[in-house]
Amino acid sequence: MVSAHIHAYIHHMSVFTDILRGAVLATFIVLPAQAGDHVKSSDSFERIIEAQIAAFARDDGMAAFRLASPDIQRMFDSPEHFMRMVRSSFKPVYRPQSYRFEKSLLVDGQHAQPVSIIGPDGRGVIALYRMQEQSDGSWRIAGVTLHPVNERGI
């Protein structure tokens, strides 16, 4: 039999999760990208992220690593180290069942592309890709954070 304390804890964690999800989504709503840059940047972001997801699907570490920003490349040093990290810590991005691009936005002045993903376990996440413009005008992925949602795949 489950005690009242456990029920209270579960309820508390559920409320906390709802508040956290609301804070993340509020950030998305409050900080949309500039309208003029949105379409061009969003198209570029989607192409880059789709190319990286396709590289993950092929286990092509070199192609996936090339789409990461210079800072990320320095941090992981090699495609092998990068892929090891992605396989262990970013399974929804590494092997999504499905994904959908949301409207790009600015977070702390940095371009970001939220992607709604159903991971290999059927659980939903929002992957927030931080994008970094390079000196040649191209874009690369400067980091990804995963934000769980209650969405489940069919």
Task: Enumerate the β-bridge partners of residue 147.
Answer: 126
Q: Does residue 11 fall inside a structural domain?
A: no
For residue 21, give both structure tokens. Answer: 């999800």
For residue 37, give both structure tokens. Answer: 């840059």
Q: What is the pLDDT of residues 33-70, one digit of tens each?
A: 454 455 457 899 999 999 999 999 999 999 999 999 99
| Gyration radius of the chain's alpha carbons | 17
For residues 87 and 47, give the distance between their C-alpha atoms in angstroms, rounded to a whole number: 21
Phi, psi of 72, rounded to the nearest 5 degrees: -65, -40
Q: Does residue 43 fall inside a structural domain?
A: yes
Count of structural domains, the chain: 1
For residue 38, give both structure tokens. Answer: 């949105």
Q: Does residue 7 fall inside a structural domain?
A: no
Q: What is the pLDDT of residues 10-41, one digit of tens each?
A: 444 444 444 445 444 444 444 444 544 554 57
The CATH number assigned to the domain holding 99 equals 3.10.450.50
Q: Does residue 26 fall inside a structural domain?
A: no
List the domain range (segments joined by +) for residue 119. 31-152
Q: 45: closest CA among 86, 92, 99?
A: 99
- Number of Cβ within a 10 Å radius of residue 126: 20
Q: Does residue 19 fall inside a structural domain?
A: no
> pTM of this prediction?
0.74
